[in-house]
Structure 1
C-alpha cells in the first residue's frame, strides 16, 4: 500500500513539474518570471509597461498560466493585484533562474 501512495505522490510531482516547465517554455512567460524575479511585486499594468509588445489580454492569459502552475502568486491590495514569483516553486523547478 505504501508503494501505491509513493507512486501517486511521485505522479503528482511529475504533473506539477510538467505544468511548470510547459509554462516556462513559452518565451513571454519566461520573460515575465525573470521580470518578477528582478522587481519582486508588480501589477499587471507594470508588467505590461515592461513588455510593451504584449497586448493586455495576452498578458492576462500568460499570468493565468503562471499562477495556475504555481510559479506566480498574487497579492491583493485594495483594487490592485500584485504578482510575485513563488520562491519555493522556483527553487524546486528552476533554481537556475535565481542565479545572477
Structure 2
C-alpha cells in the first residue's frame, strides 16, 4: 500500500476570520464559516457535536443510543457535520468513529471571541 504525504497545517497561522466584533466579515470569510454555523443550527447536530467534542473520538455505536432517532437519521446528521468540516470520520470494521476537527473549532472560537465592552460590563446597554 503506497504511503500518502499529508500536508502540514500550521495551527499558529492566522485564523480565517477576525472576531466579529473587530471587523465585519467579508463575503469569502462568511462563506467559510456559514456552513459550520448552519450545521450547528440543528439541536440534534449540536448535541452530537457536544458528545463528539467531549472525548478524543467516539464510535457511532455510542452516539445512536443517546437519541430517540433511527440509526440512518443519526448517520445523516453526522454526514452534515462532516460535510461542514466540523468532524472527521474513520471506518473501523463495521463501525465509524468520529472526532472533532480542531482547526474548524479554533476558527469558530476565534470568530466568536467578542471582548466585553465597558458599557456592557457595567450593566449598561448601548443605545
TM-score, structure 1 as length reference? 0.74
Q: Radius of gyration: which is bigger?
A: 2
The within-5 A match list for 1:41-60 is 41-49=57-65, 51-60=66-75
Q: What is the SS of the residue equivalent to 2:50? A: helix
Gaps of 5+ in 1: 1-9
Counterparts of 2:39 and 2:109, CA distance in 1: 12
Unaligned ranges ≥5, structure 2 = 1-25, 113-127
- RMSD across aligned positions (CA): 1.9
Change in CA separation of 1:12 and 1:77 when aligned onto 2, cut-off 3 Å: farther
TM-score by length of 2: 0.60
Paired residues in the alignment total 86
Aligned to 2:48: 32
